Structure 1
Amino acid sequence: MTRYTGRCACGAVTATIAGAAIQVRQCWCRQCQRIAAGSPTTNAMFATEDIAIQGELTATSYVAASGNTLIQSFCGTCGTQVMGQSSARPQFRTLRLGFLDTPNDLAPQVAIWTEDAPAWAVIDTKLERYPRQPPPPAVKA
């Protein structure tokens, strides 16, 4: 059963996601601010096995401030950010909410790397916060 679908701006990359989001996070790390034009990225974390991507992704990797290697994947044609993955958590992928067709029920629950947020950032006081790398999310059975 497909729970979510996604597509890039040009339609070259699409996805179907079978499972529920494990957690929805806003990430304020500097690298995410770079790819989100100064704001945080907002990402829904899913089990890797629940995601099927169609089309060709372009990727870049780097060692993040956490010490983990991160891979950022995007459409090489239109540049739409698709997902991130961490060497520390290969069982998860974080899909960008802007890539998902109808992410309306995926409200952020956690704000991470808040120590990198600019002074003007408005972070919802209801969100659980982590100044740096959070612990892995609990997977609901």
Structure 2
Amino acid sequence: MAKRITGRCFCGAVQFQFDEPPLVARACWCRDCQYLSSGNASVGAIFRTETFTTTGEVREYYSTADSGAAMRRRFCPKCGTPLFSEDLSLPDFMVVRAGALDDPELSRPQSTIWTASAPSWGFVDPELPSCGGHPAPAGKT
């Protein structure tokens, strides 16, 4: 049996789990992620949605990413923790913000994306593969 992956928002009102490990984890420097992570790169783990379950109320915000993708972003309405992002054209996958995972080691970045949008002071790990813009979708690489 696969290890259950769990997480929650800061206040604990929203809890979630997956029954499979993430496909990949990435650090992202796109401007949207900089806003969502208070100016730094955002680290996200990409999971298949088929085993995803959640409890608690979430709110949604829809936007268009720099890549042109229609995005649904979900967060806790009580504490504001950003939790999930989904490209609406790829319903089988979701990005979970690394800080929301109970085991943050699961989201160690394997690459860095949107490096062209990083500020001059932003750290881009030279040991990781990087992409200046939008990469191929995780499930299609």
Amino acid at match of 1:88: S
Corresponding residue of 2:40? 39
Q: Distance in 2 between matches of 1:30 and 1:102?
A: 26
Corresponding residue of 2:80? 79
Gap runs ≥5 in structure 2? none
Q: Distance in 1 between matches of 2:98 and 2:23?
A: 14
Q: Distance in 2 between matches of 1:114 and 1:30?
A: 10
TM-score under structure 2 normalisation? 0.93
Gap runs ≥5 in structure 1? none
Q: Distance in 1 between matches of 2:36 and 2:135?
A: 20
Amino acid at match of 2:76: C
More helix by share: 2
Give the 3-state SS of the residue equivalent to 2:130 in structure 1: strand
Q: How far is 1:105 from its partner? A: 3.6
Q: How far is 1:139 from its partner? A: 6.7
Q: Deviations over 1:81-140 (max 9, x none)?
A: 111000232110100111111122431001111111001111111111111110122579
Amino acid at match of 1:92: F
Pairs within 5 Å for 1:92-107: 92-107=93-108
Pairs within 5 Å for 1:1-141: 1-138=2-139
Q: Distance in 2 between matches of 1:34 and 1:138?
A: 25
Give the 3-state SS of the residue equivalent to 2:104 in structure 1: coil
Deviates most, 99-108 or 30-39: 99-108
Give the 3-state SS of the residue equivalent to 1:104 in structure 2: helix
Q: How far is 1:3 from its partner? A: 2.4
TM-score under structure 1 normalisation? 0.93
Is contact 2:43-2:107 (8 Å) kept? no
Q: Distance in 2 between matches of 1:34 and 1:5?
A: 25
How large is the Cα RMSD of the aligned pairs?
Answer: 1.5
Is contact 2:86-2:95 (8 Å) kept? yes
Q: Percent identity?
A: 36
Give the 3-state SS of the residue equivalent to 1:129 in structure 2: coil
Amino acid at match of 1:78: C
Is contact 1:2-1:16 (8 Å) kept? no
Q: Deviations over 1:37-78 (max 9, x none)?
A: 100110000001121111111110111111111111100010
